[in-house]
Structure 1
Amino acid sequence: MVLDVWKKIKKKQFTPMYVLYGTEDFLINETKQLLINYALSEEEIEFNLSSYDLEETPIEVAIEDAETFPFVGERRLIFLNNPTFLTGEKSKSKIEHNLNKLEAYLKEPAPYSIIVFSGAYEKLDERKKLTKELKRQGTVVEAKKLNEQELILWVKERVAINGVEIDDEAVHQLLTLSGTNLLMLTTEVDKLALYANGGKKIDVNMVEKLVSRSLEQNIFSLVDKIVQRKIEDAFRIYYDLLKRNEEPLKILAILAGQFRLIYQVKELARKGYGQQQIAGFVKVHPFRVKLAAGQARLFKDEELARIMNMLADADYLAKTGGMNKEMILEMFLFRLQGEN
């Protein structure tokens, strides 16, 4: 798990090679930054940090750099980006790499250099000799979406870095309000930690007070009010979104998407699918599936079917221009109110 790798880096327990791959760019960039912070001092960065794009530079040039003794300090840090030869993908680059040179280096890596291969690839080609050797010699980090428990650990780790603590209820509310985007979460965690600086513990009240809501999270709250049959509160959230100049059609699209997710989660759960399986099937984060599952339990099948039909009617009106766009959603909420 990426958090375990981060802990070792912070303890300066480095390996000669790292392979960072996956679709979660934030985790790749965060790992790179940690390596820079802990492997090199500020004075060493200018002399001992190198970065190569392997779609533009032959591997042998980077290997020569790794074999060059550091001019200042005790180690070199070398980033090798886009190592397509570690995957099953075909490179669009015309650069030819002397992979024999890399294989020879892997057998006897320079003790004063850390090489980091990095690419936004979904998977590596495990059949390749180079991939197998890198896994044996170094550390492989798959930067994938964190599951709920990993997200909770990540938030607590991030808070601890800032020298404060956060309770479990506050973590859950933070994820509910901010979503699972790590870049957005980082901004919110750092803001909370700054506010709590001086011995305070981050609690749920602090999260409610300080955390910014994205459009998606505001619409999640709107859906939640509908679930609780608090239609007047739903109206209040909708009007607040309009005051912020949010586009009514965009609100409608996200609202429909949330109810579609609730419907899908309810159906798949009925068929015996687990949270992780459902997340993979509908291609959303497992934490969103968990929240949708909680909402789904409060709807009967026929209620959900009616709401889906009402949203389809609203979408038709919006696309045919039959009514003022702001009124389309108002009519949807009025119809809901009439059914409660």
Structure 2
Amino acid sequence: MAKNEITCDEILKELKAKQYRPVYYLMGEEAYYIDLIADYIEDKVLTETEKEFNLTVIYGNETDIASVINAAKRYPMMSEHQVIIVKEAQNLSNIDELSYYLQRPQPSTILVFCHKHGALDRRKKIAGEIEKVGILFESKKLKEGQLPAFISAYMKRKGTDIEPKAAAMLADFVGADLSRLTGEMEKLVITLPHGKTRVTPEQVEQNIGISKDYNNFELRNALVEKDVLKANKIIRYFEDNPKTNPIQMTLAVLFGFFSNLMLAYYAPEKSEQGIAAFLGLKSPWQAREYQTAMRKYTGVKTMRIIGEIRQTDAKSKGVGNSSLSDGELLRELIFFILH
């Protein structure tokens, strides 16, 4: 992240301190942070009475930039501010025309654009003009390795702790869809037994539907340790329960791990801290698996494993495969990895 890029937490801190900007342009591939900021502005800036006359929510495919600017120039009624939220702003044409409004934005208007599944070109003049008077925020997808730290931080804000294995199980099962991930975490918080403040793997197993013993996290551990018996038990369980353990999810986890392992060989410093920093991991303990795996797998073998995972992915989608089931494909892949 560039030094001048503002974070979601910094924006929310400003908002909670009632420090408002005239324009917020929220964009990017990760919808979660865009919704988090926009929802806070929609829910908290105005009182319920003020919202009746001073909150406007419109959609980019139902309006144009001229209408947005005209609305933004209005004065609030019986309130210090009016809030205008433009959802699906990626569908607005001629966004460059916002430049005229940005030269003299209405101080009492808080204008919010929600641009999902893409971003403004930061090299364009309009991007710089937004940053001069307001907020230009890009919401980026988290990497797989960042998910356990995100889960732990989210739980702490809820006054709850979560065991590392439980966090890893969630990360592997749900992936980087933060909206779904936070929904699953809310479920765990609600279902915590009275007086308990720590989420365990057992609770994840009971409430999310992930086996604490047979999941992608445990499969990865078995492969790291080259535990042939454990790995085969897990893939047999996967084969018997294909709906909760689809091959595509398993392949994504394995590809992510072995791709990172390949990168770890190039880390200048092979300590936990050095590998964690090189791979962008939030916590040094996450690097321990890579240290262990580097002792078990050579760089050449790791490269071949990555190629085999790619081939298995193609075969699972019917490319060059007319007879093997997903379970058989996974068994062949795990055999190749372990031998």
Match of 1:145 in 2: 141
Asked if 1:201 corresponds to 2:200, the answer is no
Q: Aligned equivalents of 1:180 and 1:201: distance in 2? A: 25
Asked if 1:30 corresponds to 2:36, the answer is yes
Q: Aligned equivalents of 1:100 and 1:23: distance in 2? A: 24
Equivalent of 1:70 in 76, 81, 84? 76
Whether the 8 Å CA contact 1:17–1:114 is kept in 2: the answer is: yes
SS of corresponding position for 1:114: strand
- When the two chains are superposed, the root-mean-square deviation of aligned CA atoms in Å is 4.4
Asked if 1:18 corresponds to 2:24, the answer is yes
Match of 1:132 in 2: 128
Whether the 8 Å CA contact 2:60–2:92 is kept in 1: the answer is: no
SS of corresponding position for 1:229: coil
Whether the 8 Å CA contact 1:63–1:105 is kept in 2: the answer is: no
Q: Aligned equivalents of 1:333 and 1:60: distance in 2? A: 58
Q: Aligned equivalents of 1:242 and 1:2: distance in 2? A: 41
Equivalent of 1:236 in 230, 233, 237? 233
Deviation at 1:247, TM superposition (A): 9.7
Deviation at 1:52, TM superposition (A): 3.5
Whether the 8 Å CA contact 1:77–1:115 is kept in 2: the answer is: yes
Of 153-162 and 6-15, deviating more is: 153-162
SS of corresponding position for 1:122: coil
Whether the 8 Å CA contact 1:21–1:28 is kept in 2: the answer is: yes
Q: Aligned equivalents of 1:255 and 1:152: distance in 2? A: 17
Deviation at 1:135, TM superposition (A): 1.4
Q: Aligned equivalents of 2:111 and 2:288: distance in 1? A: 41
Whether the 8 Å CA contact 2:88–2:114 is kept in 1: the answer is: yes
Whether the 8 Å CA contact 2:174–2:181 is kept in 1: the answer is: yes
Q: Structure 2 matches for 1:243-262, cutoff 5 A?
A: 243-246=240-243, 251=247, 255-256=250-251, 258-262=253-257
Match of 2:216 in 1: 219
Whether the 8 Å CA contact 1:178–1:184 is kept in 2: the answer is: yes
CA deviations 1:50-93 (Å, max 9, x no partner) are 23445653333223322323335442111235667xxxxxx894
Change (3 A) 1:261 1:82: closer
Deviation at 1:125, TM superposition (A): 3.2
Equivalent of 2:185 in 182, 189, 193? 189
Q: Aligned equivalents of 1:276 and 1:123: distance in 2? A: 29
CA deviations 1:121-168 (Å, max 9, x no partner) are 33443451x433321222232211346897667545643554x23257
Match of 1:114 in 2: 110
Deviation at 1:333, TM superposition (A): 5.2
Number of aligned residue pairs: give it. 317
Deviation at 1:294, TM superposition (A): 5.2
SS of corresponding position for 1:297: helix
TM-score by structure 2 length?
0.70
